[in-house]
Amino acid sequence: MNSALLAQMAEATRLTRLGDLQAATAAIQAALGGIATPAATPGEVIDVEARVVHSPAQSPPVDNEPSAGIDERAGTFVAGSFANAIGRRDYKLFVPPQAGERALPLVVMLHGCTQDPDDFAAGTRMNEAAREQGFFVLYPAQSRRMNPQGCWNWFKHSHQKRGSGEPAILADMTKDVIRRHDVDARRVFIAGLSAGGAMAAIMGEAYPEIYSAVGVHSGLAAGAATDLPGALMAMKSGSARAPARAAARPTIVFHGDADATVNAVNAERVVTAAAGDAQAIQVERIHRGTHRASTRHVHRAADGRVVVEHWIVHGGAHAWFGGSAAGSYTDAQGPDATAEMLRFFFDQPHKPCH
């Protein structure tokens, strides 16, 4: 890394500690390559002191009921809030019209920086797919108090492990939704974009008994960084840290090879972490209609199970592929990431209940 980038990262860290987040944001944007607009993209990192509460006495009152009534026959998108001993996060939950007929799958969707559940749902069209195919969708919302740009704190060591920080909140929120609704606990999946993708990778590693499979779109591998300078370096040129392989779940990865925000080498790190000892790799070139061309790598275990599916989208930038312009950071020209992720998820064998 050159001396100018090191100096910019050091200045951003200093300004954050002084509480001047506006100046810190400008320094980070300069480090990432001179982004002209003041708003952060989903992959940009705005570092703040993580406020992780471990004492139940200091926690907010636990009231995990949705804030709106649910008519499970019609299919609704309702707001709620979840709290445990570590902290509180709001969420939106899509309840499909098929709810109540049988136990249904659950897909947890983690938004990118500057996004929120409504924006992410609109951009990915996940609720439309859920309405047609019959599954719940949970959209946790990052608190702007915990991160001013709405980024999940994937790059902080206190938010990367089981039982700690945001992973513990997200895991307990997921279990609460499973408990309150007729969710098939054998078919629970998690996916995310950019910072959300990085957090989804962490969740698959930290809580493999909850999530049957993971989707990482334009994100980074679990443990790619443990602080702000490391995050900036990983985003720009890949992490110097070897990716962990323990307890990885079947994973589907999407990344554009023209992504200037999160370098596509990070997708390879996610694949390495999830593939483990899988040796058999099938390579397929895909070009459908006017969509961008893609190369798909399918990694199989010795018994033939698919453990990783890696989509490289040629000419694709930092956006959810096949998404709608109704949401931010979408690329309608790409392959349909929502449809492909759901196919991958629902093709997974049902995991045993715990």
pLDDT for position 136: 98
**pLDDT grade for 279, boundaries at 50, 70 and 90:** confident
**pLDDT grade for 9, boundaries at 50, 70 and 90:** low
- 198, 217 contact by CB (below 8 A): no
**CATH code of the domain made up of 66-346:** 3.40.50.1820
pLDDT for position 278: 78
Helix (H, G, I), strand (E, B) or coil at 193: strand
Element housing 201 (H / E): helix 195-206
pLDDT for position 70: 44
- How do residues 148-171 score in pLDDT, each as one tens digit? 999 999 999 999 999 999 999 999
- 202, 171 contact by CB (below 8 A): no
pLDDT for position 25: 52
- 42, 193 contact by CB (below 8 A): yes
pLDDT for position 144: 95
- How do residues 76-122 score in pLDDT, each as one tens digit? 999 999 999 999 999 999 999 999 889 999 999 999 999 999 999 99
Q: Is residue 173 predicted with pLDDT exceeding 80?
A: yes
Q: Rounded to an integer, what distance in angstroms lies between the CA atom of residue 222 and that of residue 10?
A: 24
Q: Is residue 43 predicted with pLDDT exceeding 50?
A: no
Q: Where are the alpha helices (DSSP H) in 242-315?
A: 265-275
Instruction: Kindly tell me the burial class for residue 158, based on how many C-beta atoms sit within 10 Å of its own C-beta (0-12, 13-18, 19 or more).
Output: middle
Report which of residues 65 and 93 the model is more confident about. Answer: 93
Task: Over range 226-231, report the average pLDDT.
Answer: 90
**The model scores a pTM over 0.95:** no
Report which of residues 2 and 95 the model is more confident about. Answer: 95
The residue type at 13: T
Domain boundaries, the chain: 1-38, 66-346
Task: Over range 261-284, report the average pLDDT.
Answer: 91
**pLDDT grade for 48, boundaries at 50, 70 and 90:** very low
pLDDT for position 303: 87
Highest mean pLDDT: which of 136-145, 278-287, 302-311? 136-145
**pLDDT grade for 244, boundaries at 50, 70 and 90:** low
Q: What percent of the chain has a predicted confidence (pLDDT) above 90?
A: 67
- 87, 52 contact by CB (below 8 A): yes
CA nearest 83: which of 60, 67, 65?
60
- 343, 133 contact by CB (below 8 A): no
Q: Rounded to an integer, what distance in angstroms lies between the CA atom of residue 254 and that of residue 180?
A: 32
Please give the distance of CA 300 from its chain centroid, rounded to a whole number: 23
pLDDT for position 191: 98
Task: Give the length of the chain.
Answer: 354
